[in-house]
Amino acid sequence: MKALLEVNHLTKQFGKDSKALTDVSFSVQEGEFVSIIGPSGAGKSTLLRCINRMIDATGGDIRFQDSQVMNLKKKELKQVRTKIGMIFQHYNLVNRLSVIENTLHGKLGTKSTLAGVLGLYSKEEKQQAVQILNVLGLNEMIYKRADQLSGGQKQRVGIARALIQNPRMLLCDEPIASLDPNSAKVIMDHLKKVSTTMGITVVVNLHQVDVAIKYSDRIIGINKGQVVYNGSAKGLTSEDIQRIYGSEADDLIFDIGGIHAG
């Protein structure tokens, strides 16, 4: 089977001598749920942003479906971006607009400039937005302003905005880092459901090893810009965790057996 996303020998350098990524290679299959873990500053966000070219990598290549992402022209890049949804730690909603308007922003990439500027959406698009919001349990909030929502609700709007793009893949940069454990669970459950029922590939940056093990099919561990673990969630041992987080991380290592069992 051909992989949906393939990253080969990717490097990213900021300025003269700070290397954020060194020779990163991995591939992601259609429908897979992949978590990327690693200490702060390891390069997780950088890696994710290189995939949809929010930042440009320095070397290597990235293939998504049949496109060489690094070589795309402006217009083709937008085309590819409409196929990749992105979810952020701080939700990044337009606070003064309503939930449904924020959701419909996911459609802008497929619209003409004028229609986007004037905010003209078709009836079908609005219906689709309402339907997605229903699935995410936001039916009561559709016309509320985004700044009136709780963090967990905001993040669900963020997911809705990504889903209305009809994406093949979701990139999530620490989607639960600002949430309490309950809301975090709700969000992770939704992401898992999206992956299993809609067959959408999910790549998610996480800080919680236990969450990563519980939800993902596969885990990629990054340390100092290099891939140090790439394998199934089940196969992650405490030695691996030590390799990913460094030797000072002894306290971090909890009862792995317990998590695997749970």
Ligand X SMILES: Nc1ncnc2c1ncn2[C@@H]1O[C@H](COP(=O)(O)OP(=O)(O)OP(=O)(O)O)[C@@H](O)[C@H]1O
Q: Which residues bind ligand X (CB under 6 A)?
A: 14, 18, 20, 38, 40-46
d(CA 89, CA 231): 25
Smallest separation (angstroms) from Mg ion to the CB of 184: 16
Among candidates 244, 258, 193, 207, which has minimal Cα distance to 33?
193
- Region of 60 on the Ramachandran plot (φ > 0 left; ψ -120 to 50 alpha; else beta): left
Q: How many residues comprise the chain?
A: 262
Q: Pick from Mg ion, ligand X, another protein, none: which does 40 bind, CB < 5 to 8 A by kind?
A: ligand X
d(CA 76, CA 64): 12
| Binding segment toward another protein, per CB under 8 A, in 60-68, 88-96, 190-198, 200-208 | 88-96
Comparing CB distances to ligand X, the nearer of 86 and 141 is 86
Residue in 35, 45, 52, 201 binding Mg ion, rule: CB under 5 A: 45
Smallest separation (angstroms) from another protein to the CB of 206: 19
> Interaction with another protein in 99-138: which residues (CB under 8 A)?
100-101, 105-106, 108-111, 113, 116-119, 121, 123, 126-127, 130
12 lies in the binding site for another protein (CB under 8 A): no
Q: How far apart are the first and last CA of the chain?
A: 31
Per-state percent for the chain, helix, strand, coil, to nearest 5: 45, 25, 35
| Binding segment toward another protein, per CB under 8 A, in 16-24, 39-47, 62-70, 78-86 | 78-86
Q: How far is CA 161 from the centre of its chain?
A: 13
Comparing CB distances to Mg ion, the nearer of 2 and 90 is 90
